[in-house]
Structure 1
Amino acid sequence: MTAMTALEQPMIHWVEEDQPRSARWRSESGNPAPKRVVIADDRMTADAAYRLACEGTGMLWRGDFQNARQLLQALARRAEPKPKKRPKLPATPTDAFNLHRQAQSQRARTLGMLLLPFEADYSIPLRRAPDVQQACNEAYGAPTDSFVTSLRELQGLIGAHEWRKKGVDIPALGDRIHPHYGVYSPVRGEYIGLVAEAPLPSTRLAFDIGTGTGVLAALLAKRGVTSIVATDMDPRALSCAKENLLRLNLDGQVKLMETDLFPEGRAPLVICNPPWIPARPSSPIEHAVYDPESRMLRGFLSGLAAHLEPGGEGWLILSDLAEHLGLRSRDELLAAIAAGGLKVVGKIDVRPQHPKVSDQADPLHSARAAELTSLWRLAAA
């Protein structure tokens, strides 16, 4: 996911002090520009703001920045689903998933209606506004022009900046991985543990398909694989992986390549951790989680045999959450493996440990409680 150029950014328009005004709209998370924009400040009540947000009206903030933060928190409380509005009859897992996604999308649209002005140098011309120039530079690149974006998007940029600074502890690496904005953070460590434990078919060469932060390429290098080709289609991911590998002093073992799925040639080990849920992402950032019609999964399985050396293995890291949600069956997965001219030579499973597993208030709790993450060891049939 690359940052938008100024020419690709739409304009928003409003009236202020009886004069027509306009500015570029910026949203790396893919939110459309609000069609109607009004001026808002410290006098606006939370109820009035919530009504406007639900109507799809953007509120360009001219008051105190910290008051805008408090207003967004008040909007978030009002956007929470009310218990009495939840369906009484139990939905199927697929229905629960679709309703959950719908509610998430509506909530994001509503909370995205509180807007902030930015100067061309990424400063915010509001009282008590923080210095966010470094966070904006990391997400957007070098500044070019003034623009407007949502306070919620800014919070995402600041959160990504903090993750990038402190990093994610990876016990199997004995070090930390520092994710960049827009690159999926390896916070679910159970799949990394599987790659650390599985027996290596060779330490000569490996392909890491869809490397992201570079965490699995780094782990293979730490395990003694002397040469790794790590691919990704996203320039942000490749930049992130490069920075991580340099910091870990593993860049000499890993070659990064911008390509869709496989590099040329064959390897004794080909590894892939595709997005686990076959559904349409609602924003560019969600492409790491949602894989429409299992495009990446099917592409990996259909092309794997042609990129394996004789006796080599393909490692597919995949959660079965989609199966518990009714979005993909085990039979469909096995059929795709067989259709790719592959056979299963082994499988290692682990139960996730993330907080949502035990959160009974989560609408997807039953599926999450049953979830297994697996490393499928595949070979040419």
Structure 2
Amino acid sequence: MSTEIRVNRPTPITSKKHIILFDNKTDVIQTIKTLEAGKSIVISDFYSNGLVVLKALKNYLNKKLPNTSFQEQRTFRSTYHKLSNRILIEIEDHKVALKKAPSIGWLKKLYPEISDFVLSFPQVQGLNSSWQWYTNGISIPVLRNKIHPYYGTYFPTRFDHLTLFDNWLKRYEGPKKTAIDVGIGSGILSFQLLKYGFQKVYGTDINPNAIVGLAVFMGDTKLSRKIALDYAPLFGRYDSPTELIIFNPPWLPKSNQEDYVDAAIYYDEHLFPNFFAEAKQRLLPEGQIVILFSNLFQITNFKTIHPIEKELSEGGRFQLKRCFKKRVKEASSLTKRDQNWRGSEEVELWVLIHKVSL
């Protein structure tokens, strides 16, 4: 099933008709002006030349754009994303065609039908980082074994919400026959469920890379018999009622001001209403819903009603059993963003049950 899914990957550029080349003799500032004019450049000679342009571009934008508040940082990242992706690199025979370039296994795994093409420098950087995480694995405090996230699959760099969930599972006394993990991602919550004795977990995701990656990771092991996967939104084909529904949704509302949106981080206005409507049909009478969330949207000045509080006050479907909160620690070294607003961030674990009619 999963091997037939077409995974997301950076779109290859097959034309090599580029005029503007950049090497260590090219004027960097003039190159940035070229990028701002909407033109692309191709890095030549050494891989490090691309790093030089990216560093200069970031310094240039730091001087040009304010980058303090959360909203300013979103604008900065959007501008940097647009300009940096006009910096291109040639791929030949599934290898980066530059001296002292890293070896990236994804170039062959993700592009079996084409060996020569062009990608943007940030895309190549992303592929390189992902390949290191995939091959070396990432340690997660609540799991015994490392995870090996597939390219394009979200994985956490902070673990406070996972610790909160782990502590809740330690105290969970309900049945453990089945659970549904909506938006399974890299599989961490499902692995936690199995660790605490759940017999079967049904995982869904709208990201094909998450489904393919987990299928490859589990192979024909015991895990593959305990975790069923479905490439689908929300609950997918799993319509049998269950005793536990797990949901770790995006924590920020989608902004119309950005040219690109990471669906693992930003949610649209329909996500929560649709989730709660379907969850009502999937939850056994004595079942529970656990939602991992954050107050991040509140402390970053979004004028948005808390989606879970809105459901509880207006939905008429569920009531609150418990809500646990935990102050977050500093971000992992895997992320380099300035996160000065996170001092007051808390992760939240909401436990909901069917509303009891009086």
TM-score bracket, normalised by the shorter chain, equals 0.7 to 0.9
Deviation at 1:335, TM superposition (A): 2.1
* Aligned partner of 2:288 among 313, 316, 340: 313
Contact 1:214 1:242 in 2 (8 A): no
Aligned to 1:126: 98
Deviation at 1:65, TM superposition (A): 2.7
Aligned to 2:106: 135
Task: Kindly indicate whether residue 309 of structure 2 is the aligned counterpart of residue 334 of structure 1.
Answer: yes
Aligned to 2:128: 158
* Aligned partner of 1:3 among 5, 8, 28: 8
Task: Kindly indicate whether residue 213 of structure 2 is the aligned counterpart of residue 231 of structure 1.
Answer: no
Structure 1 residues 332 and 41, CA, compared in 2 at 3 Å: closer, same or farther? closer
Structure 1 residues without counterparts, runs of 5 or longer: 17-37
Structure 1, 172-181 or 155-164: larger mean CA deviation: 172-181
Contact 1:218 1:245 in 2 (8 A): no
CA–CA distance in 1 between the matches of 2:58 and 2:208? Answer: 33
* Aligned partner of 2:41 among 50, 56, 59: 59
Contact 2:14 2:116 in 1 (8 A): no
Structure 1 vs Structure 2 CA RMSD? 2.9
Contact 1:276 1:289 in 2 (8 A): yes
CA–CA distance in 2 between the matches of 1:219 and 1:253? Answer: 12
Contact 1:305 1:379 in 2 (8 A): no
Aligned to 1:20: none
Contact 1:301 1:337 in 2 (8 A): no
Determine what percentage of the aligned residue pairs are the same residue.
Answer: 23
Structure 1 residues 258 and 74, CA, compared in 2 at 3 Å: closer, same or farther? same
Q: Which amino acid aligns with 2:164?
A: L
1:1-381 matches, cutoff 5 A: 2-3=7-8, 14=17, 16=19, 38-81=20-63, 86=66, 96-119=69-92, 121-132=93-104, 134-138=105-109, 140-198=110-168, 199-200=171-172, 201-246=174-219, 249-262=222-235, 263-280=238-255, 282-283=259-260, 286-293=262-269, 295-327=270-302, 329=304, 333-338=308-313, 339=315, 341-355=317-331, 362=338, 365-366=340-341, 368-381=342-355
Structure 1 residues 159 and 306, CA, compared in 2 at 3 Å: closer, same or farther? same
Structure 1 residues 192 and 247, CA, compared in 2 at 3 Å: closer, same or farther? farther
- Deviation by residue 1:299-329 (Cα, 9 ceiling, x = unmatched): 2222212111011000011111112223254
SS in 2 for 1:168: coil
CA–CA distance in 2 between the matches of 1:313 and 1:245? Answer: 27
- Deviation by residue 1:108-165 (Cα, 9 ceiling, x = unmatched): 222222211122x322333444433x13234x34242522111121111101111112
Contact 2:254 2:267 in 1 (8 A): yes
CA–CA distance in 1 between the matches of 2:194 and 2:18? Answer: 57
Q: Which amino acid aligns with 1:369?
A: G
Contact 1:180 1:240 in 2 (8 A): yes
- Deviation by residue 1:317-347 (Cα, 9 ceiling, x = unmatched): 1111112223254565312234150111011
CA–CA distance in 2 between the matches of 1:189 and 1:9? Answer: 34
TM-score (norm 1): 0.80
Structure 1 residues 302 and 116, CA, compared in 2 at 3 Å: closer, same or farther? same
Contact 2:41 2:86 in 1 (8 A): yes
Corresponding pairs, count: 340
CA–CA distance in 1 between the matches of 2:161 and 2:220? Answer: 22
SS in 1 for 2:328: coil
Deviation at 1:14, TM superposition (A): 4.0
Deviation at 1:178, TM superposition (A): 1.3
Q: Which amino acid aligns with 1:354?
A: E
SS in 2 for 1:177: coil
Deviation at 1:222, TM superposition (A): 0.9
SS in 2 for 1:355: coil
- Deviation by residue 1:143-193 (Cα, 9 ceiling, x = unmatched): 425221111211111011111122221222222111111110122211111
CA–CA distance in 1 between the matches of 2:143 and 2:348? Answer: 20
Structure 1 residues 98 and 12, CA, compared in 2 at 3 Å: closer, same or farther? farther
TM-score (norm 2): 0.85
Q: Which amino acid aligns with 1:146?
A: D
Contact 2:95 2:107 in 1 (8 A): no
- Deviation by residue 1:69-117 (Cα, 9 ceiling, x = unmatched): 33333333323246xx649xxx9xxxx4332211111012222222111
Deviation at 1:58, TM superposition (A): 0.7
Deviation at 1:221, TM superposition (A): 0.7
- Deviation by residue 1:355-378 (Cα, 9 ceiling, x = unmatched): 389x9x93x633x22111111000
Structure 2 residues without counterparts, runs of 5 or longer: 1-5
SS in 2 for 1:288: coil
Contact 1:303 1:340 in 2 (8 A): no
